[in-house]
Structure formats: C-alpha cells, structure tokens
Structure 1
Amino acid sequence: MDLEPGLAALRPLGGFFALRTTGADATPPGPLPTLAESYAGTPSDARRDALASRVETVARRLRAPEPRVAASIAHQGLAARLWSAALGCAALYGRVPDLDPALLRWDAGAAAPDDLWLTGLRPLPGDAATLVDTVLHGHLEPLAAALRARYGLATGLLRGNAGSALAGAARELDRWARANGRTEVADRARPLTAALFTHPLLSPTGTLTGTAFRRRSCCLYYRVPGGGVCGDCCFPRPPRPSPRAASG
C-alpha cells in the first residue's frame, strides 16, 4: 500500500499517530522552525527557542518542580510522537515517510497532531533498520544531546524514555488493531517492535514481553505534584526523598 499524500490511514489511531502534511492537510500556522533547527538551537529567524519553549510549557502545565523534570517529560512526549508516526506508517502502509528533521516543522506550543508538519513525502522502506535510522539516529540522538547539554539529563534516563515511548506506541497500535479487526496490522507491528528492541541503544532500556514493557530507569514523572509512577516504571512506588533533599 503506497503512502497517501495526507497519510489519512493514521488518523483513526489518534493524534499521537497522525501526521500533518503540508499541501495535503493545510499549511502550518505561520513560520515554524524545523526539528533540525530546534535540536541545534539555531532557529532561522528571531522566533523563540522551540525546545526551551516546549520544556517551559510542560513545566507550567504540570507544575514541574525543576526544569529537568519537565525536560524529561517533554522528551518522552516528542519521542512518542515520532515513534508512533513511524511505526504506524510501517504497520499500516509497509512504508514510512522520510522524517528527516529538516522536513518536519514543529509548533512547540501545539498538541498532537497539530505540532508536527511534514513538508515533503518521500517513501522509505518500513523495516526496522529504516526506523532506527529515521527515528533513533535521526531524531532521538540529537534531541537527547541537546537536552543533556541544557538540562543535565542522564543518558540512561533519555534512552529509557526512548524505549518506553516505542513500547507505548507499539502497545497502542496493537490495541487499536485488535479492537478494529485489523489483526494484520498487529501482526506486522509486533515483530517490528521486537526487532527495534534488539538495537544496542534500546535493548538495555528495559524488558519487552509481548506488548508489556518494564523499563530500567525512571522518567521522573513521580516528582510532578500528584504524578506517581508510570505503568512501566522501574519503581513499584514513588521513591521517598532523601533526608538531605527533604531538608534542603
């Protein structure tokens, strides 16, 4: 099945999977930076730094107690968007669009699917090697480097976020496929996800059993007021603050 100009088959899966394409859906709301510019911190004009803006937005909405908590949650959200769009295309079409960061414009203040706009539709193979190159190397490594430099996030945490985001996308895709009688989509997504988790940057992040995932790190969401721990967290309950942290 060839990629459609508007990638309409993704829309029933929900906003995290859907991807706007310029010319097919509409045009972005004004000039937006590309993800390549956002990772590098080099917007093409006087617009605010999109990555910092997204972290600030997350911090404000969740009342995050420190910037690195908001940065981690923002990272996992963008990772989930990218894995969802790529994995959804691979499972539904057998192909993925080229998601080069220079082709994706980013509205850091918008929610999915209005946050990402693909400005060119170049089909690529829908195999694990292509998804690794497209999402993991093309996006998540430069994004992680930017967040480590700006917010001091640990490499293991960021890789754990990448693994958790991939597992979450695969789980939701599997759920949708089975609920809608599209078992062939689930049958394509499961082995593809398993193959992705054999990559040396993803295999240490946690344990995948079917569609269930248990990560070996924590995204820090428990530090958000009322946050608790996520379903795949390495902690069974929120860690208690150390006496030094509680007194300081």
Structure 2
Amino acid sequence: MELDQDLAALGPLGGFFALRTGGAPGTPLPTLADAYENRSSDVCGNALALRVEKVAHAIRAPELRIAASVAQQGLAARLWSVTLGCAALYGRVPDLDPGLLHWNPDASAPDDLWLTRVRPLPAEPETLADVVLHGHLAPLATALRAHHRIAPGLLWGNAASALAGAARQLDRWAGLHGRTEAAARTRTLAGELLAHPLLSDAGTLTGTAFRRRSCCLYYRVPGGGVCGDCCFTRPPRSSARGASG
C-alpha cells in the first residue's frame, strides 16, 4: 500500500499518530532543523527553549531539566508513532527530514507537526533508525544537553520508552481491528529497533511490556509519580534523587 499524501490511515489511530501534511503551514513555523540547531525564528524565537519553558509551566517543574526531559519524550513519542504507524499500515514510511517537518513549540500536547512533503522510504528497521534516531533524537539530545544537565542515558531511556509506548498502542489498536499483519509488523519492528546500539541498554522488552533502566524525572513534579515502565517501583527519597538523572 503506497503512502497517500494525506497519510489518512493514521487518523483513526489518534493524535500522537496523525500528521498534517502538504504545502507549508499558514503561519510560518520553525522546522525541527531550526530547533535542533537553536536557530531563532521571527514567530517562535528559540523553539526548543520555548517548548521547555511551556512544559515547565504546564507541569510546574521545579527544574528546567525535568521539563526538558518531558518535552523530549513527548516529541520522541510523536516521531515514533508516525513512523511506526506508517510502517505497520502502509509498509512504507515518510521521510521525516527535520528540514521538512515544521513544529509549533507553543501548542499543547501532543506536539503539533506539519510535514511539507511526503516522500516514501522503505519500512525497514535501518531506515526507521535513520529517520528517527539519527535524524531527530540524536541532534535533539545534543541540543538539550547543551543547555540542561541531563544524562545521555536518561534521554535514550526516554527514546526507548516512547518507542515501546507507541508500539504498544499500535499493537492494541491493530488487535481490536483485526489487523493481525499490522500487529505482527509492529512487534517485529519495535523489537529490532530496541536492539539498536543507541537503545539496547535502555531497558528490557517482554512481549509488549517495557521496563527501562533510567528515570525520566517526572516523579519530581508536584503530584507526579513513577511511570509504568520506570526503573523505580516507587518515587525515590530525596537523598536518592541525584542518582536518577
């Protein structure tokens, strides 16, 4: 099944999977390439800094590095969802070149993305790794670490957690709709991607359940707890917090 220019098959999967496509957004938005290179725009200024500040305000984060972690995981979830969804349903993936993908950092979750050109690529694990890990998450991690004290293992743990979460949601949807081939493709791709050198130390996948070896720091926001795949079973005591990030 060839990619259609609207990526219409993603719509029923929900907001993390759906992607606006075609032309350029009506409001001139920065591209993700701008964000990773910390280039300012007339509309959003420094997009990455704006996003981190927005998340910090929304979750009342006591430190900007916590908001940076949450923001990174949210964007990773969007990128994995779009890519895995297309791979499972179309057997092809769109080229999500950061220069083609516009981003509104001031929007609410899930991240508002707009792909200006739909260019099909093979739905192979190596291609998905190139598109998401090398094309986006590596430069995003570099940009965030330039301004925030975040351990690399935390960010790759976020990336793996976002991948496992997207795969789990897609597998559940495929099962409910009798899409057995899509479910099987999702599980295979998720397993192979989590074995990638950048993610292989991030956690353990058992079926569709994932247990990570790091913590995203969300437990440190007011009212926050540990996530379902966290390395902790309960929020650490304050004396242990230094070891979590």
Partner Cα distance (1:34, 1:233) in 2: 31
- Calculate percent identity across the aligned residue pairs: 70
- Given the superposition, is the C-alpha separation of residues 244 and 191 from structure 1 closer, same or farther in structure 2, using an over 3 Å criterion? closer
Partner residue in 2 for 1:17: 17
Contact 2:22 2:118 in 1 (8 A): no
Instruction: Work out which of the residue numbers 53, 56, 59 in structure 1 matches 2:56.
Output: 59
Partner residue in 1 for 2:89: 92
Q: Report the RMSD for the aligned CA atoms in angstroms.
A: 1.6
Contact 2:78 2:111 in 1 (8 A): no
Question: How much has 1:46 moved relative to structure 2?
Answer: 6.2
Partner Cα distance (1:51, 1:6) in 2: 27
Say which is worse superposed, 37-46 or 89-98, in terms of deviation: 37-46
Contact 1:19 1:113 in 2 (8 A): no
Q: What TM-score results when the alignment is normalised by the length of structure 2?
A: 0.95
Partner residue in 2 for 1:6: 6
Partner residue in 2 for 1:79: 76
Partner Cα distance (1:22, 1:108) in 2: 19
Instruction: Work out which of the residue numbers 15, 25, 30 in structure 1 matches 2:27.
Output: 30
Q: What SS class does the counterpart of residue 45 from structure 2 fall into?
A: coil
**Equivalent residues in 2 for 1:114-153, closer than 5 Å:** 115-153=112-150
Contact 2:65 2:150 in 1 (8 A): yes
Contact 2:105 2:111 in 1 (8 A): no
Partner Cα distance (2:213, 2:226) in 1: 13
C-alpha offsets along residues 215-244 of structure 1, whole Å, 9 cap, x if unaligned? 000000000111100000000000010299
Question: How much has 1:43 moved relative to structure 2?
Answer: 3.0
Q: What SS class does the counterpart of residue 171 from structure 1 fall into?
A: helix
- Given the superposition, is the C-alpha separation of residues 177 and 244 from structure 1 closer, same or farther in structure 2, using an over 3 Å criterion? closer
Contact 2:156 2:198 in 1 (8 A): yes
Structure 2 unmatched ranges of 5 or more: none
Question: How much has 1:28 moved relative to structure 2?
Answer: 1.9
C-alpha offsets along residues 84-113 of structure 1, whole Å, 9 cap, x if unaligned? 000100000000010000000000112356
Instruction: Work out which of the residue numbers 174, 199, 202 in structure 2 matches 1:202.
Output: 199
Partner Cα distance (1:221, 1:154) in 2: 15
Question: How much has 1:180 moved relative to structure 2?
Answer: 1.4
Partner Cα distance (1:114, 1:2) in 2: 26
Contact 1:20 1:113 in 2 (8 A): no
Say which is worse superposed, 128-137 or 104-113, in terms of deviation: 104-113
Q: Which amino acid aligns with 2:19?
A: L
Partner Cα distance (1:192, 1:108) in 2: 29
Partner Cα distance (2:91, 2:33) in 1: 26
Question: How much has 1:114 moved relative to structure 2?
Answer: 6.8
Contact 1:37 1:43 in 2 (8 A): yes
**Equivalent residues in 2 for 1:34-45, closer than 5 Å:** 34-45=31-42
Contact 1:39 1:142 in 2 (8 A): yes
Question: How much has 1:197 moved relative to structure 2?
Answer: 1.2
Instruction: Work out which of the residue numbers 162, 171, 176 in structure 1 matches 2:173.
Output: 176
- Given the superposition, is the C-alpha separation of residues 200 and 243 from structure 1 closer, same or farther in structure 2, using an over 3 Å criterion? closer
Number of aligned positions between the proteins: 242
